[in-house]
Structures are given as C-alpha cells and as structure tokens.
Amino acid sequence: MVWELFNLLKTAEEEISSVQNEKDLENWRIKYLGRKSPLSLFFKELKNFSPSEKKELGEKANEIRKKLVDLYEKKKNEFQAENNLNFSLAKKDKKANFFDITQPGKRIPLSHLHPLTLVFNELTNLFGNLGFQIVEGLDIETEYYNFDALRIPEDHPAREMWDTFWLAPKDKKQKSKLLLRTHTSPMQIRFMEKHQPPFRIIVPGRCFRYEATDFSHEIQFHQIEGLVVDENVSLANFKSIVNNILMTFFRKNIEIRFRNSYFPFVSPGIEVDIKFKEAKSSVYKNKWLEIMGAGMVHPELFQNVGYEKNQWQGFAFGLGVERLTMLKYNIPDIRLFFSSDIRFLKQF
C-alpha cells in the first residue's frame, strides 16, 4: 500500500510540472490532497492496522503528504510571483502610456509673508522714498534710555502709560536697570547722541508692555518710530508727511485728524487718528481710530545730547504697526498676529 503511495507521489510530481495555470493547480490539489484523494482515504484506513503498523505507515504517509504540500506551495508561490510581476508591469505600462490632460494641476502650497512683514516692507519703502534712513535698536533697553532720557523720571505719573517688563539685575554694580523696551523712542536719544542733524530716520521694532491682553492689546507689538531733525522743521512738515504716507498706504478714502495729547519728550504732543469713510467692517466704519503719538521734539532732549542751543528743530512720531495692519486688512483681533495659525496666515 505504501508503495502505491510512493507511485502516487511520482505521478503527482510529474503532473504538477506540467501545470500551467492556477485552475489546473487547484484541480491537482483536489486530486492529491483533497478529502477524497487516495492519501486521505489511506489515512482513514489506518485505523484498521495494528498499533505498530499504524505508527510506521502513518509516518510514511505523513512524509508523502508533506512532500505533496511542498510541491503545491512551491507551484503556488511561482504563480503568485508571476502575478505580482504581471500586475506591476501592467500598472507601469498603463501609467507610462496614459496622460489625462483634463486632470487639474496639483496646487503647490506656497508660503506667505506674515501680514506684519508685509506692512513693515511697505512702510519702510514709503518712508525710504521720502529720504528716511532705517535704523534699528535693541529689544532690551536701559531704564535711562527708555524713560529718564525721555523726560520720564521714576516718580513721574507718565511712567504709568508704559507698564514695564523689568529684567532682574545681573549684579549690584549694574548702573541702569534693564527692561524690555516699552516703545521705540529710546532710539531717538541713542541716534542723536551719535549723529549731528540734519537727518530723518525711522526705527522699526518690537516693543513690550506688561498688560492684560484683549482683542486690541498684546504684551508684544511693533512700532515704527520716526525722527526728523533739521533747521526749519515744523508740524506742517509732519502733517504733510503723515498725509502722504497714510493716503498711499491705505489707498482709500480716509480722513486724518490731529489731536492734542501729552508725551513728556515732545512739546506740543499730538495724536493722529484716522477714519474710514467706507470700511468693510462696521467695527471701523465712521469711527476715529488712534494710530500714532507724535509731537515736536522737546528742546531738553537736544540739550541733553549736546546739540547747539536753539539751532535745531524736529518732530518725532511712533506708529502702531499692528493697528495699521488690522485696519488695512480688516483683522479683528491683535492676538491673531502671534497665534501662528496657518488658516490666518494663509490669507495674506
């Protein structure tokens, strides 16, 4: 009987070598490994043998079964590999020969300049066209330049206009306390100490104030400081420059108003408001909105930096960059600028 099985293995081997497709392979499997195959029948018969014969014959039959299964698996794998290859070749072929010209192109995501950067670029260009030189200060200032040199002594109530982030002193010898600058005005002094008039400069930069945040207040924001010093400079010059810049910047119908104000380092001090006659958002429509502080440079500042008495006049201003950007692009909340929210940034 076992010999029959060995013969069976031989024919099975011969047959499988001529199997050409998966259907034939399946038929082969049913014939040699299926429930009605001679092998299965043989296993069923085994129970009729004595235990020792059962063991010997069983082992032999199992061996043959294993060989048949191996034959089957091997062939199956061959077909599988062939299929995979055919499939990828077909895919490649299809890809290579097919080009759908009606497909819309893929949009490549482009990065954007931050709205504040856009406004900085535009304003520095506009001022540049009017002959202004750009200088930059540092975010960390001393108490002297941020306050005292600007006529804001320690006990002066005006200091309360600028809630300050103070920096812990490095050691006891440190002369002037350090702080995060609350405005860009300290650069007025630093520049004048090193340069003789006439000049016109702008100082774009970041400022900090220790304030509760809301839609129009942030602890960090930006200003563009301006300083013009010459022999015959008046508020009329300032007004014409501001008109020129703002009209070009907003490119729409705005009204500009100059209003009395107070800053210790200018005299007289003024504030500039603008009003949109037609504004997209009702928040801004027909309302006066403050956009900068300004004024004629206080003579004491000139004296302190050693300028010749009564020879020079100048005006200074500090523009709120976030404010201008919000107005220009209809941005409802100042906190959006520092949120890094891509949905916000994508719009610019």
185/325 with CB nearer ligand PHE? 185
- Rg, C-alpha atoms of the chain: 43
Query: Among 191, 295, 302, 322, which residue interacts with ligand PHE (rule: CB under 6 A)?
Result: 295
Binding string, 234-253, against ligand PHE, x = CB under 6 A?
Answer: --------------------
Binding string, 160-199, against ligand PHE, x = CB under 6 A?
Answer: -----------------------x-x--------------
Token reading at 38: 């001679």
Residues composing the chain: 348
9/266 with CB nearer ligand PHE? 266
The CA-atom distances, in angstroms, between 271 and each of 100, 195, 304 are 62, 27, 25
- Shortest Cβ 322–ligand PHE spacing (Å): 13
The one catalytic residue among 181, 209, 298, 323: 209
- Other C-beta atoms lying within 10 Å of the C-beta of residue 296: 18
- Shortest Cβ 289–ligand PHE spacing (Å): 15
Query: Among 137, 197, 205, 318, which residue interacts with ligand PHE (rule: CB under 6 A)?
Result: 318
- Shortest Cβ 171–ligand PHE spacing (Å): 30
Indicate if the alpha-carbon torsion angle 133, 229, 176, 146 is positive or negative. Answer: negative
Query: Among 12, 68, 228, 266, which residue interacts with ligand PHE (rule: CB under 6 A)?
Result: 266
Which of helix, strand or coil describes residue 223?
Answer: strand
| Stretch of 120-128, 192-200, 291-299, 331-339 lying at the interface with ligand PHE (CB under 6 A) | 291-299
Best CA proximity match to 265, nearest among 233, 237, 301: 301
Beta bridge partners of 166: 179
Round to whole Å and give the CA distance between 297 and 156.
19
Instruction: Tell me whether residue 209 is one of the annotated catalytic residues.
Output: yes
Token reading at 81: 């590999």
183/222 with CB nearer ligand PHE? 183
The crossing angle, in degrees rounded to 10, of helices 51-97 and 2-17 is 10
* 152 counts as binding ligand PHE under rule CB under 6 A: no
* 263 counts as binding ligand PHE under rule CB under 6 A: yes
Round to whole Å and give the CA distance between 279 and 327.
9
Pairing of strands 199-208, 133-134: parallel
190 in Cβ contact with 290 (< 8 Å): no
| Stretch of 107-115, 124-132, 173-181, 287-295 lying at the interface with ligand PHE (CB under 6 A) | 287-295
- Contact residues for ligand PHE (CB under 6 A)? 183, 185, 263, 266, 293-295, 316-318
So which residues are the catalytic ones? 162, 183, 209, 223, 266, 316
